[in-house]
Amino acid sequence: MPSSDKEQWKRETLDPVVKRFPERRDNFQTDSGLVIGSLYSPEDLQRQGLDYDNDLGYPGEFPYTRGVQPNTYRGRVWTMRQYSGYGTAADTNERFRYLLENGQTGLSIAFDLPTQIGYDSDHVLANGEVGKVGVPICSLEDMETLFDQIPMAKVSTSMTINATASVLLCFYIVTARKQGVSMEEISGTVQNDILKEYIARGTYAYPPRQSMRLVVDLFKYCHDNVPKWNTISISGYHMREAGATAVQELAFTFSNAIAYVQAALDAGLKIDEFGPRLSFFFVAQNNLFEEVAKFRAARRMWARIMKDRFGAKDPRSMMLRFHTQTAGVSLTAQQPDNNLIRCTIQALSAILGGSQSLHVNSRDEALALPSEDSVQLSLRTQQILAFESGAADVVDPLGGSYYIESLTNELESQALEYIQQIDDIGGAVEAIEQGFQVREIGDSAYRHGQEVESGDRTVVGVNRFTTEEVPIEGLMRVNEEAAKSQVGRLERLRQCRDDSKVRNALERLKQVAQTDDNTVPAILECVENYCTLGEICEVLRGVFGEQDGTLSF
């Protein structure tokens, strides 16, 4: 169509729409602030310099924009997980078995806050937090209870744990061994992404550089001993939940990933020894098309980072594999049934974007931990999308869309600019110590909040289309006796174990932590002798120091 004809088409077709709906005139942008044109065409992609052969290609081929596997869900649908954990290990075990019976194909463990930062349930700082936002795991005994009657050789397990990741994985390894399952057989992922904790989430224990040592120790140990285990899930999710844009989510996630890769290389590992076991964790937010484009841009960015920056040769090192969770921060306490629609849209974006694993939040999570009925409905959402919607029937169904390809290019370009800024500062750790990422995310969160408060950004049921609230029925409540039960179990454990073996194992860990030796074997010895999580972390705090909540900025 000649340019003059295009302008006439725009005047006759698009301008009247804007005039009828003037309130949308200033709102044609993505959540990241990318301006959305009224129409996209091949010329837009040409202006961006898109090279179909080098930038797109086919699924399963470098740079994997269209997917890391040639057949994606036509071969096998994504792993369906529900993030679960509350009360006690016994309570959570019951929920796990319920989910598996209802068709869930992988487990995802939520740990309570004391477990996440390395305190036992009877520590003074754990008071009031035991079992509230996840399951408390203080010892091997708790992990054995958590996986009672669950076949660990057949179930893939994801553990959202960072500061104490190596300890929890050791609990898992020894529990599997007691089931007769070897380290070579277990499969899953431990998040182990400590850098984003200093940026957005806050469940750290030790200073950043000492924490990086534990991350790399786990890389080394699993490379030699736990071949099916993903040793890190580098997460953009929590930074996005804190207010980051999609561009910032990509940039800060990959800057952290670059820091982990460089630390592993500096420790003597080869890029293709650990590269294939790196995995990622992203959010799926409300803006359907921006999220699909974000996932596609992420694959291309990571492939080129690993190949061009780090010289990876193994294609598996260049393939970005990721888990997705729908956006907790988007859930509203007002009109909670609306969350069903939000989560379905978000889940669809993850599927259209080619996620390997997915968790869908529940409608009532803005009010309480999800009830059993709500969890089942979230799982059914995934199953309907997988088996009824047709979304899983074709690889990269939106690939080739002028709009999607333009968004993919724009997100990648802006994210790479951010990564260059962080490189210029000295890398992710230095930028964290200077507060760069925290400030950038804070500015984005402030702008978002101002837009909602002013009404420039609509949140249905919150600042527009509101109704009189009706209390929601059937909210889940954690039994207050659960914390007492957990503390009682811990006391009995301490009375029954061999104290001399505990002391010797902890002393051995202290000695190892003071050297450059790998800490994981010493932690395993502690776990086998029923040392508690808090005791192990106290030893490490004594050697590494403790992060007090303030960085140099």
Identify the pLDDT of residue 12: 61
* Average of per-residue pLDDT values in the chain: 92
- In-domain check, residue 177: no
Tokens at 284, concatenated: 């799926």
Strands 229-230 and 79-84: unpaired
Nearest by Cα to 301 from 364, 251, 376: 251
Q: What digits encode the pLDDT tens for the residues 268-287?
A: 999 999 999 999 999 999 99
Tokens at 272, concatenated: 């293709």
Q: How far apart are CA 13 and CA 9, in angstroms?
A: 6
Q: What are phi and psi of 294, to 5 degrees?
A: -60, -45
Lowest mean pLDDT among 9-18, 290-299, 477-486: 9-18
Identify the pLDDT of residue 84: 85
Nearest by Cα to 466 from 455, 480, 481: 455
Query: Residue 409: which CATH number?
Result: 3.20.20.240
More confident call, 307 vs 4? 307
How many CB atoms neighbour CB 359 within 10 A? Answer: 29
Q: What digits encode the pLDDT tens for the residues 477-501?
A: 777 788 999 999 999 999 999 999 9
Identify the pLDDT of residue 468: 86
Q: Is the pTM of this model over 0.85?
A: yes
More confident call, 50 vs 406? 406
- In-domain check, residue 299: yes
- In-domain check, residue 375: no
Q: How far apart are CA 236 and CA 350, in angstroms?
A: 14
- In-domain check, residue 512: no
- In-domain check, residue 355: yes
Identify the pLDDT of residue 16: 54
Q: How far apart are CA 109 and CA 188, in angstroms?
A: 11
Q: What is the mean pLDDT of residues 190-213?
A: 94
How many CB atoms neighbour CB 178 within 10 A? Answer: 12
pLDDT at residue 45 is higher than 90: no
- In-domain check, residue 241: yes
Which runs of consecutive H residues, i.e. helices, occur in 204-329? 208-225, 237-241, 246-266, 271-274, 288-304, 315-318
Q: What is the mean pLDDT of residues 459-483?
A: 85
Torsion of CA 110, 114, 119, 120, to 10 degrees: -80
Number of domains in the chain: 1
- In-domain check, residue 231: yes
Domain that holds residue 35: 25-57+194-366+396-461
Lowest mean pLDDT among 40-44, 242-246, 320-324: 40-44
- In-domain check, residue 441: yes
More confident call, 25 vs 153? 153
Identify the pLDDT of residue 362: 94
Tokens at 29, concatenated: 């942008």
Identify the pLDDT of residue 2: 58
Q: How far apart are CA 383 and CA 29, in angstroms?
A: 31
Terminal alpha carbon distance of the chain: 55
% the chain with pLDDT above 70: 94
Torsion 428-429-430-432 (CA) sign: positive
Total length of the chain: 553
